[in-house]
Structure 1
Amino acid sequence: MLHAAGPLLTVDVGERTATETEIEDLLENYVGGRALATALAHDRIPFDADPFGPENRAYLSTGPLQQSAMSFTGRMNMTGLSPLTDGLVSTNAGGYLSRNFVDAGISVLEVVGESDELLAFHVTDDGVSFEEVPELEEATVPETSDYVDEHHDLGPEHCIAIGPAGENLVRFASVMTFDSRAFGRGGLGAVLGAKNVKCVTFEGEAAPELEVEIPDPPESEIHREAATSDDRMRRQGTTGGTEFINDNFSLPTRYFRDYEFEGVEGIGGNAVEEKKYKKGACSACAYACKLPTRDEETGLETEGPEFETVYSFGSLQGVGDVVDVMKSNELCDTLGMDTISAGVAVAAYLDSEEEFGNADLAHEVTEKIAYREGIGDLLAEGVDRCHDDLGVDNYTVKGMEFAAHDGRVLHGQGLSYAVANRGADHMYASMLSLEYSGELDPEGTLGKAERLVEQENYAAFRDSGVVCAFGSDYVTDERLETLFDADYDELLAVGAKTVTLERHFNNQRGFDRADDDLPYEIPDLEEAVAEYYDARGWMADGTVPDSRAPESAPADD
């Protein structure tokens, strides 16, 4: 099976050491990306680790397709113990980092320890250097990029960075790359913040012995089809379906009080497209579905908002002006926060204050969260930890705030939220796409477990490849088999191992059946969760039998 190439680079930021370890066997079994990082995390992060402690580890990993010139491959994976959910979390981001990461000659970076000073470190094909950067304390993400450019002549495509939110341990702080692309969900920015790591750069020249041969076709065919596509998503990104979802399913509104938003036209796909002023893409991708937007009247420029931000800072807050949502989006990117969790937390606060629609207050509170000022200090803990103080319902699963796609209407998606190891994240299985399209009836949960398992396994493999989720119409199952030189069932088996390792790790931290639940009722959830466990071969209490846990990675000596 095709897999990533290169050693594991372990950087101990407390000891200022860098060690390379050959992991060929792991790469052969886990391909790269999320699967590889999960295997490493499972055996190298102590089960009783504190997410903010030096024993937690953050993994940045690539897959084999990042050595191709194929569209839908400009992404990377990040994995660690989440301060938001207290379990393992993986998240991925696009941009232009992945090729520079590969050129540094590694397949995965592992960050461990805790620095006593604010630190940057620089990974090249010649080694690692460390730089204390006290002058970057509470610098924004663009300010950090400017520093890297000025002092190292490297653009933001070479860098990951955290903003003030990460330094201040906001539990949903993001790790940012290319200034506006986020490793968003789960708070891994706060993990780097706890380690006192402000930024990391990557640079080098690809080593011939680490080159991965990508089958062509389909490499060039996929690229050509992406370049000639006339999909609406190329014009409107993920916002293209906003009005359709609002009118036919549900767009959660005013902190989940309502199911549709009367102001949807002001924040939907057409409104976003009107503000788009140029094309935007990820590395090597001809699909170009990103959304550089600008408001001529105010001069505000940002990248986005995507659909999840339109929901979290738009309908969920009762805000109907796309420029207000653009400003919220830019604040989150600049300060380094997940727009979903941040937006839901702000919406919870607006609910508690009966201030729905007050965009100015939303912007003020968003900034306070990043610096943990006033009410922002409470909201920075996330809705699961602050809802009682606010007097609002707890719209989270496993501590993670809900994405836009409403499980109260899309019952298969609701089941997915309930059982996902990551919590209320829509990308863990994307049952939503099957229910929006009518391939699955949105009503009911029974009989959907086996399809849910397949969707989870597919997503886990896709995040290991690494392949963009928006390329599924082009990077088809048949083409995946050719690209990775493996049967589709073999690919799904890699995903299944990944999901099982995540669950086994979380079980050791106390997660069980009680955590696979929702804050609202949908039909037959108890029975459907039992069907899911049965399909996975897990115990009735939601735990993985030790006999079913895959062997993963050697522990760090």
Structure 2
Amino acid sequence: MLHAEGPMLTVDVGDRSADAVDIDDVLERTIGGRATATALAHDRIPFDADPFGPENRAYLSTGPMQMSQMSFTGRMNMTGLSPLTDGLVSTNAGGYLSRNFAGAGLSVLELVGESDELLAVHVTDGPAGPEVQFEEVPELEGAETSRVSAYMETHHDLGPENCITIGPAGENLVRFASVMTFDSRAFGRGGIGAVLGSKNVKCVTFEGDSAPDIEIADPPASDVHREAATSDDLMRRQGTTGNTEFINDNFSIPTRYFDDYEFESIANIGGNAVEEKKYKKGACSQCAYACKLPTKDEERGVETEGPEFETVYSFGTCQGVDDIVDVMISNELCDELGMDTISAGVTVAAYLKSEDAFGDADLAHETLEKIAYREGIGDTLAEGTARAHEELGVDNYTVKGMEFAAHDGRTLHGQGLSYAVANRGADHMYGGMLGLEYSGEVDPEGTLGKAETLVGLENHNVVRDSGVVCAFGGDYLTDERLETLLDADYERLQEVGAAAVERERHFNNKRGKDVADDDLPYEIPDLAEAVQEYYEARGWNDDGTIPDASVESVAPAAADD
């Protein structure tokens, strides 16, 4: 089975030390990316760790596909113990970081400890392996993402494509703070930015020419690249916003903090509205698909990348805001301040509901600033909806503490089941029944009989996130092509995916999570029975737990913290 190559570089920012560790055995079993990082996190983060404590570890990992010239491969994975959900979480981002990361001569970066001073960590390739320098950067305290990039360019001749960065939200331990790369690409969900903030790590840079020589099967690599370049998909023009009106008109987009199922002004913020503001093409490293959305509005002086569909929902329909430029401003604020647009937008929507202020975009923008700096009501909202809803007097629309993505489980019942059982919480990328239900391949009505399909999708998505390849390449990176590219039959790849899901679940079990957490804040048909079908399909106990003996430890032991 094809896999990433190179050591794990463990960086302890507390004692300013770095150690390269051989993890070949882990990589051979787990491909790279998410599955590798999940195995490491499961075995090396204490089950009773504080998400904001020095014993928590953050993993940045790449996969074998980053050594190819193939489209849909400009992505990386981050994994850690989430301060939002209190369980393991993985998230990935595109951009141009992955090739620079691999060039520094490693497969995984592990950050542990806690620095007394705000740090930039610089990783480069050296004659004997990856090398690390620590730089105290008090002048970057409170700096927004673009200012950190400007500093790195001025002082180190490095661009945003060399960096992962946190904004003020991460420094201030906002529970849904993101890690940013290339200024506008986010490791968004689950609050890994706050984990870096708790370690006093403002930025990590990567530079080098020591990428491993991994042979990628060609074809199909060249076929995928050619098809991506010649595709006439709507997504190439409008990104994920291309189906906004279709979803609103035929299914549901949660509106005004889940009070309504459709937004009457959807045309003002949908795909066509976004495309009108798009002024050039945008892509990720090596990708000919170019589905990114550089947008600007000269009249109001805003320039950003996006918004994508989830941000149109979270700062548009969910808040009752009907001006695409207002949504663009919210998007840019989240990028600069370093926050997940989904969790931030839904949390602000909960606040607008509490204030009877739906549609007040100016208040939404002011509130984002307050959240990032934990000022006034922002200090409450920085904890996320699950922890703030009682004080606001609104319902808790989260699963496992994570705010819902746009695809509404109240009308897409298989997607509702996916939200309920996902180890990550209410995130649409974990299982993703939504595509089958939107297309009609699976009837969106009902939950029973969908568990086997959901298990296969969850396992597949682990492989995708371990490769690492983009979710938007699904029509091009077929199961057969993945078999060839990763040099393994699909059954074996499914086993890799299942093992990662089980490690996540086992870790979360050890933190007290079980069937009680696999639930929704709204009613859908036969959910409890469908959850049991899911457990049966996975071979788990009927209380949502996994026996200790069924989860194998594969990672090297961690040094005592």
TM-score tier by shorter-chain length is over 0.9
- Report how far residue 236 of structure 1 moved: 0.1
Task: Choose the corresponding residue for 1:241, options 232, 240, 243.
Answer: 243
Task: Choose the corresponding residue for 2:293, options 277, 291, 305.
Answer: 291
The 2-side partners of 1:479 and 1:43 are apart by 32
**CA distances 1:328-366 after superposition (whole Å, capped 9, x unpaired):** 000000000000000000000000000000000010001
The answer (yes or no) to whether the contact 2:75–2:468 under 8 Å persists in 1 is yes
**CA distances 1:478-512 after superposition (whole Å, capped 9, x unpaired):** 11011011101111111000000000000000000
- Report how far residue 555 of structure 1 moved: 1.7
- Report how far residue 232 of structure 1 moved: 0.2
Who is 1:251 aligned against? 253
Who is 1:59 aligned against? 59
Who is 1:114 aligned against? 114
- Report how far residue 206 of structure 1 moved: 2.3
The 2-side partners of 1:548 and 1:397 are apart by 26
Look up the SS of the partner of 1:145 in the other structure: helix
Task: Choose the corresponding residue for 1:184, options 174, 184, 188.
Answer: 188
**CA distances 1:147-196 after superposition (whole Å, capped 9, x unpaired):** 00000000000000000000000000000000000000000000000000
Look up the SS of the partner of 1:426 in the other structure: coil
The answer (yes or no) to whether the contact 1:49–1:56 under 8 Å persists in 2 is yes
Look up the SS of the partner of 2:429 in the other structure: helix
The answer (yes or no) to whether the contact 2:43–2:553 under 8 Å persists in 1 is no
- Identity percentage over the alignment? 79
- Report how far residue 299 of structure 1 moved: 2.2
Task: Choose the corresponding residue for 1:157, options 161, 185, 188.
Answer: 161
1:124 is the counterpart of 2:124: yes
The 2-side partners of 1:38 and 1:239 are apart by 31
The answer (yes or no) to whether the contact 1:409–1:442 under 8 Å persists in 2 is yes
Who is 1:7 aligned against? 7
- Report how far residue 298 of structure 1 moved: 1.5
Who is 1:215 aligned against? 217
* Structure 1 residue ranges without an equivalent (≥5): none
The 1-side partners of 2:518 and 2:432 are apart by 17
The answer (yes or no) to whether the contact 1:500–1:550 under 8 Å persists in 2 is no
The answer (yes or no) to whether the contact 1:123–1:201 under 8 Å persists in 2 is yes
Task: Choose the corresponding residue for 1:522, options 524, 538, 545.
Answer: 524
**CA distances 1:90-134 after superposition (whole Å, capped 9, x unpaired):** 000000000000000000000000000000010000210000000
The answer (yes or no) to whether the contact 1:60–1:110 under 8 Å persists in 2 is yes
The 1-side partners of 2:531 and 2:477 are apart by 31
Q: Structure 2 counterpart of 1:133, which letter?
A: V
Aligned-residue CA RMSD (Å): 0.6
The 1-side partners of 2:80 and 2:443 are apart by 35
Look up the SS of the partner of 2:304 in the other structure: strand
Look up the SS of the partner of 1:11 in the other structure: strand
Who is 1:41 aligned against? 41
The answer (yes or no) to whether the contact 2:23–2:556 under 8 Å persists in 1 is no
The 1-side partners of 2:52 and 2:387 are apart by 16
The 1-side partners of 2:516 and 2:393 are apart by 23
Who is 1:278 aligned against? 280
- Report how far residue 553 of structure 1 moved: 1.3
- Report how far residue 548 of structure 1 moved: 2.0
Who is 2:323 aligned against? 321
The answer (yes or no) to whether the contact 1:42–1:552 under 8 Å persists in 2 is no
TM-score between both structures, scaled by the size of structure 1: 0.99
The 2-side partners of 1:496 and 1:139 are apart by 40
The 1-side partners of 2:372 and 2:496 are apart by 37
* Structure 2 residue ranges without an equivalent (≥5): none
Look up the SS of the partner of 1:384 in the other structure: helix
Map 1:45-444 onto structure 2 (within 5 A): 45-126=45-126, 127-207=131-211, 210-444=212-446
Look up the SS of the partner of 2:202 in the other structure: strand
The 2-side partners of 1:550 and 1:452 are apart by 24
Look up the SS of the partner of 1:84 in the other structure: coil
The 2-side partners of 1:78 and 1:156 are apart by 17
Look up the SS of the partner of 2:14 in the other structure: coil
The answer (yes or no) to whether the contact 1:121–1:129 under 8 Å persists in 2 is yes
The answer (yes or no) to whether the contact 1:174–1:338 under 8 Å persists in 2 is yes
Number of residue pairs the alignment of both structures matches: 555
Look up the SS of the partner of 2:480 in the other structure: helix
The 2-side partners of 1:86 and 1:550 are apart by 22
Look up the SS of the partner of 1:35 in the other structure: helix
Who is 1:504 aligned against? 506
The answer (yes or no) to whether the contact 1:314–1:320 under 8 Å persists in 2 is yes
1:480 is the counterpart of 2:474: no
Segment drifting more, 437-446 vs 544-553: 544-553
Q: After the TM superposition, list the runs of 4 or more consecutive aligned residues in structure 1 that deviate by more than 2 angstroms.
A: none
- Report how far residue 74 of structure 1 moved: 0.2
- Report how far residue 547 of structure 1 moved: 2.8
Look up the SS of the partner of 1:286 in the other structure: coil
TM-score between both structures, scaled by the size of structure 2: 0.98
- Report how far residue 550 of structure 1 moved: 3.1
The 1-side partners of 2:234 and 2:264 are apart by 23
The answer (yes or no) to whether the contact 1:236–1:291 under 8 Å persists in 2 is yes
Look up the SS of the partner of 2:47 in the other structure: coil
Map 1:513-552 onto structure 2 (within 5 A): 513-552=515-554
The 1-side partners of 2:553 and 2:88 are apart by 17
**CA distances 1:179-222 after superposition (whole Å, capped 9, x unpaired):** 00000000000000000000000000025xx3111111111111
The 1-side partners of 2:552 and 2:535 are apart by 17
The answer (yes or no) to whether the contact 1:456–1:495 under 8 Å persists in 2 is yes
- Report how far residue 549 of structure 1 moved: 1.5
The 2-side partners of 1:368 and 1:255 are apart by 20
**CA distances 1:495-548 after superposition (whole Å, capped 9, x unpaired):** 000000000000000000100000000000010000000000000100012232
The answer (yes or no) to whether the contact 2:42–2:507 under 8 Å persists in 1 is yes
Q: Structure 1 counterpart of 2:123, which letter?
A: V
Segment drifting more, 47-56 vs 472-481: 472-481
